[in-house]
Amino acid sequence: MARPMRVAVIGAGPAGIYTADTLTKSDTPCEIDLFDRLPAPFGLVRYGVAPDHPRIKQIVHALHRVLDQPGVRLFGNVHYGRDVRLDDLRAHYDAVIMATGCERDRPLDIPGIDLPGSFGAAEFVKWYDGHPDVPRHWPLDAVHVGVIGAGNVALDVARVLAKSAEDMLDTEIPDDVFRGLVGNRATDVHVFARRGLAQAKFTPLELRELDHVPGVEIVVDPADVEFDEGSMAEIRSSKQTQMIVKTLQGWALRDRQDEPRRLHLHFLRRPVEVLGTERVTGLRTERMQLAGDGSVRGTGQLTDFPLQAVYRAVGYLGSHVAELYFDHDAGVIPHDAGRVLAMDGQLVPSVYAVGWIKRGPVGLIGHTKGCALETVGSLLTDAPGLVPAVYPEPSAIVDLLIERGVEYTSWDGWLRLDKHERQLGESRGRERMKVVSRSEMLDVSRSQ
Ligand SMILES: Cc1cc2nc3c(=O)[nH]c(=O)nc-3n(C[C@H](O)[C@H](O)[C@H](O)COP(=O)(O)OP(=O)(O)OC[C@H]3O[C@@H](n4cnc5c(N)ncnc54)[C@H](O)[C@@H]3O)c2cc1C
Ligand SMILES: NC(=O)c1ccc[n+]([C@@H]2O[C@H](COP(=O)([O-])OP(=O)(O)OC[C@H]3O[C@@H](n4cnc5c(N)ncnc54)[C@H](OP(=O)(O)O)[C@@H]3O)[C@@H](O)[C@H]2O)c1
């Protein structure tokens, strides 16, 4: 190709941005346009990572450097499937890479799950992270709260619910989130893991962090500390599991403290039913026992926990990506080393996938780098055979967006919003305060 290869990346989260980074570092000259349906970039780094994890939010600086290069453009507030379709992208680019991530809760099919007072973690996370598309009021009137699941999202949700609002005040949370948290009445947050200590999916750092939350006591029932042969094998083979088990055992053995709030970590308790008629009044759980290989089986022994709210943090799920075949159970785009597959298993020419929409909702931000390497490797291998874009001039896609009346945001627009949010934060002695409303984000980003 006599001109640079033109690539459209749909989704400006870590996977999309690391894909752009990998492409710009390759020997093949490339021009990359990233599209995101949100007016701001960074995906779950901005709208998933907990606000009290500023160290992780700093990854934004590395992602920022990738977007701040010639040859990489950002088009925010552009919804693939609505504002642009696959044919448009194929006409303007030589290749299209889907990096749309996973944004909703995996369903938990138990009776009572739809009662008022039962929430998905993803929605709560979006609320406290100031996502423009969720209602700005969150009911925090429950005194005893349940969180189902034993992954890092469950820990985030439980920690935010257990923390005092004042301890969130130095973060980037918007004012309405702070006001909501001030009204939080929770004194006891119960996390329910359906398997044992050695099967928990927490990471050691995030688990140990709980013990440093001011005013919160961590409670682990010694009766929950159980291991089978499968657990022992897991502990022997994984340093991470060793650390998690050691931390949890330590908490189970120590004397009770006298803190104003408690975070209870329950193991071997399967959620059976969210109780209540008008709204949530509790959670029925079944005691599980380890089966020998690290899996669990029910004992039939039921325990009801009186609770006024239940959050399910049982994993995220990807949403169907317009015009592509989708595996609805796994919530992913079927692929072969990043090359998107059609329903009949054939390759969809010039379309690729990367990140959580390719691999499913598991793994840290850093893991999307390796994923990007694989997808870009496939694309570069295929490059000589790709059907060239009909309208490869960089201005052509801009003309199309303008013609369609799409109020897109740009990299310069993000720099304006970034500066504005920092100034808002500064006036309150904080590093940043997020702008939440989409229209305000657009006004600031699109102002000249
Ligand atoms: C609550 C939570 C907290 C987390 N905290 C951490 C943490 O502390 N540390 C860590 O290492 N990892 C953390 N992770 C994991 C990390 O966020 C993921 O590994 C990573 O974000 C996945 O990247 P991605 O680019 O595939 O998806 P995403 O980050 O979800 O990015 C996808 C992007 O695609 C855009 N998009 C979707 N559909 C469209 C469309 N139709 N048109 C245009 N754009 C679209 C979205 O707006 C989004 O910006 C967390 C995950 C969650 C759920
Ligand atoms: N600070 C951080 O680094 C951070 C923060 C948030 C998220 N993340 C990452 O983001 C990814 C997603 O995290 P996640 O917490 O959403 O997912 P996850 O790690 O897969 O954890 C999901 C949890 O839900 C449980 N679960 C699933 N179905 C269930 C059911 N029907 N009933 C009861 N429990 C059920 C799982 O139990 P089983 O194991 O028994 O299936 C597991 O404990 C992970 O890789 C995580 O590490 C990282």
Instruction: Report how far ligand 2's centroid is from the alpha carbon of 86 (Å).
Output: 32
**318/296 Cα distance (integer angstroms):** 27
Tell me if 35 CB under 6 Å of ligand 1. Answer: yes
Instruction: Report how far ligand 1's centroid is from the alpha carbon of 48 (Å).
Output: 7
**73/263 Cα distance (integer angstroms):** 45
Report DSSP letters for 272-304, one per residue. Answer: EEEE-SSS--EEEEEEEEE-SSS-EEEEEEEEE
Asked if pLDDT for residue 73 goes beyond 80, the answer is: yes
- Looking only at Cα atoms, what is the longest distance across the chain? 72
Q: Which ligand is nearest to the CA of 41?
A: 1
Three-class DSSP category at 314: coil
Average pLDDT over every residue of 193-213: 97
Average pLDDT over every residue of 330-354: 98
**286/238 Cα distance (integer angstroms):** 28
**98/213 Cα distance (integer angstroms):** 38
Q: What is the pLDDT of residue 156?
A: 98
Instruction: Report how far ligand 2's centroid is from the alpha carbon of 220 (Å).
Output: 19
Q: What is the pLDDT of residue 57?
A: 84
Q: Catalogue all structural domains in the chain, each as residue range(s) with its CATH number.
A: 5-102+318-408 (3.40.50.720), 107-312 (3.50.50.60)
Of the candidates 335, 339, 333, 324, the residue with the CA atom closest to the CA atom of residue 381:
339
To the nearest whole percent, how much of the chain has pLDDT over 70? 100
Could you identify the atom of ligand 2 that is nearest to the CA of residue 154? 15
Instruction: Work out the pLDDT band at 52, boundaries 50, 70, 90.
Output: very high
CB 43, CB 13: distance < 8 Å: yes
Q: What is the pLDDT of residue 148?
A: 99
Instruction: Work out the pLDDT band at 291, boundaries 50, 70, 90.
Output: very high
Q: What is the pLDDT of residue 241?
A: 98
Average pLDDT across the chain, whole number: 97
Q: What is the pLDDT of residue 204?
A: 97
Q: What is the pLDDT of residue 326?
A: 98
Q: pLDDT digit string (tens) for 139-165?
A: 999 999 999 999 999 999 999 999 999
**106/121 Cα distance (integer angstroms):** 10
Instruction: Report how far ligand 1's centroid is from the alpha carbon of 68 (Å).
Output: 20
What phi and psi, each to the nearest 5 degrees, are found at residue 371?
A: -65, -40
Cα angle 286, 111, 359; round to 5: 85
Residue nearest to atom 1 of ligand 1 (CA): 48
**Residue with the two structure tokens 């301890």:** 167
Helix (H), strand (E) at residue 14: helix 14-24
Asked if pLDDT for residue 1 goes beyond 80, the answer is: no
Instruction: Report how far ligand 2's centroid is from the alpha carbon of 272 (Å).
Output: 18
Helix (H), strand (E) at residue 164: none
Tell me if 14 CB under 6 Å of ligand 1. Answer: yes
Query: Which of 153, 270, 285 gets mutated to test ligand 2 (max ligand atoms within 8 A of its CB)?
Result: 153
Residue nearest to atom 46 of ligand 2 (CA): 152
Asked if pLDDT for residue 24 goes beyond 80, the answer is: yes
CB 15, CB 352: distance < 8 Å: no
Q: What is the pLDDT of residue 2?
A: 85
- Burial class of 204 by CB neighbour count within 10 A (0 to 12, 13 to 18, 19+): middle
Of the candidates 285, 142, 291, 128, the residue with the CA atom closest to the CA atom of residue 221:
285
Of the candidates 53, 39, 47, the residue with the CA atom closest to the CA atom of residue 14:
47
Instruction: Work out the pLDDT band at 257, boundaries 50, 70, 90.
Output: confident
**394/218 Cα distance (integer angstroms):** 55
Q: pLDDT digit string (tens) for 158-177?
A: 999 999 999 999 999 999 99
Q: Which residue has the higher pLDDT, 195 or 430?
A: 195
Work out whether strand 118-120 and strand 309-312 pair parallel, antiparallel, or are unpaired: parallel
Residue partners of 76: CB distance under 8 A and separation at least 6: 12, 35, 36, 38, 39, 40, 41, 408, 409, 410, 413, 414, 445
Q: How many CA atoms within 13 Å lie on the side-chain side of 359?
A: 18
Asked if pLDDT for residue 256 goes beyond 90, the answer is: no
Q: What is the pLDDT of residue 54?
A: 82
To the nearest whole percent, how much of the chain has pLDDT over 90? 97
Look up residue 30 and give its amino acid. Answer: C
Q: What is the pLDDT of residue 182?
A: 97
Q: What is the pLDDT of residue 111?
A: 98
**118/312 Cα distance (integer angstroms):** 8
Q: What is the pLDDT of residue 135?
A: 92
The CA distances from residue 150 to 156, 177, 193, 269, in Å, are 11, 25, 5, 11
Q: pLDDT digit string (tens) for 105-135?
A: 999 999 999 999 999 999 999 999 999 999 9
Average pLDDT over every residue of 214-241: 97
Instruction: Report how far ligand 2's centroid is from the alpha carbon of 236 (Å).
Output: 22
CB 75, CB 33: distance < 8 Å: yes
**76/405 Cα distance (integer angstroms):** 14
Q: What is the pLDDT of residue 55?
A: 85
Cα angle 195, 201, 204; round to 5: 125
Tell me if 156 CB under 6 Å of ligand 1. Answer: yes
